[in-house]
Structure 1
């Protein structure tokens, strides 16, 4: 009796863990270490140069996410970022994404300094969208977990600007 109850419980836990997470149209993907926990089902570029190439060739905006593994602000943002299905779906369908734990040589990606977490948008013409900012005046590209709606709004803005300007 106990064995049967444990078996049923195990099946329920397994089934319930598959619901709730965003699954891309192409099906479940093998988790990549490039995601670093920001969205294991997403395809992440390995380098800034590769991300720029993909953005240009696929005519999609690039979202560059700077963070540190041991930063509590980065960890808090990563949690809500990876759990939000709307954000994950939008990234999968409409963006090229890159997360970096180091700074690039392109100084355009740190227009107001080097801090984490920082999210910068780049359009397919390789123009850094310095006009798409967060809500802080002293850290213009910083987002906190409570700023997720603003981030999604800025992602929509990056997509809209892409269509109207190119």
Structure 2
């Protein structure tokens, strides 16, 4: 085996292992979830495992974020659906600078979904929420409903909504 191919194989194994086992912080959203340690790691895990990504963008000082955290952390429905997702939560300065992650404003918290290939899916949003802040969720059942829509859209699992 040529040296270049051997090096690529070695680094491929190392990076797949690192991204598939790296555990991120829960930032209050629950340690019962497997969190990716960054958005980029989450995207790579999603492509490798062919799973969609759930991205939570929040701030440590935000009252609405603080109110959502315990509800999210203890939701058995979200926990059971999360096994089909790569879970990413981005706090404070980890928020992506791209306007794609703030299509209708930079309010918080925002929950967005990415396809398994890493493309932001603006068609999945909180249909029970505000038309002005489509990616704002305040209740676990709203989040679970969107998670089911994502899984149904990408034919990963069928759920009755």
TM-score band w.r.t. shorter chain: 0.7 to 0.9
The counterpart of 1:156, out of the listed 140, 144, 148, is: 148
CA–CA distance in structure 1, aligned partners of residues 40 and 107 of structure 2: 21
The equivalent of 1:66 in structure 2 is 57
Give runs of ≥4 in structure 1 deviating > 3 Å. none
C-alpha deviation, 1:42, in angstroms: 1.6
RMSD, aligned CA: 1.5
Question: Is residue 39–residue 88 contact of structure 1 (8 Å, CA) maintained in 2?
Answer: no
Aligned length: 130
1:114 corresponding residue in structure 2 = 106
For 2:55 and 2:24, how far apart are their aligned partners in 1?
A: 16
CA contact (8 A) 2:29 2:73 kept: yes
Larger radius of gyration: 1
Is residue 38–residue 82 contact of structure 1 (8 Å, CA) maintained in 2?
yes
Residues 1-166 of structure 1 mapped to structure 2, 5 A cutoff:
34-91=25-82, 93-101=83-91, 102=93, 103-134=95-126, 135-145=129-139, 148-163=140-155
Cα deviation, 1:16-42, whole Å, max 9, x if unaligned, reads xxxxxxxxxxxxxxxx66101212022
Instruction: Measure, in 2, the Cα distance between the counterparts of 1:107 and 1:52.
Output: 18
> Partners in 2 of 1:37 and 1:153 — Cα distance?
22
Structure with higher helix content: 1
Return 5+ residue gaps in structure 1 as ranges: 1-31
* Maintained 8 Å contact 2:36/2:86: yes
The answer to whether the 8 Å contact 1:61/1:96 transfers is: yes
Give me the whole-angstrom Cα distance separating, in 1, the residues matched to 2:98 and 2:42. Answer: 13
In structure 2, list runs of 5 or more residues that go unmatched: 1-22, 157-161
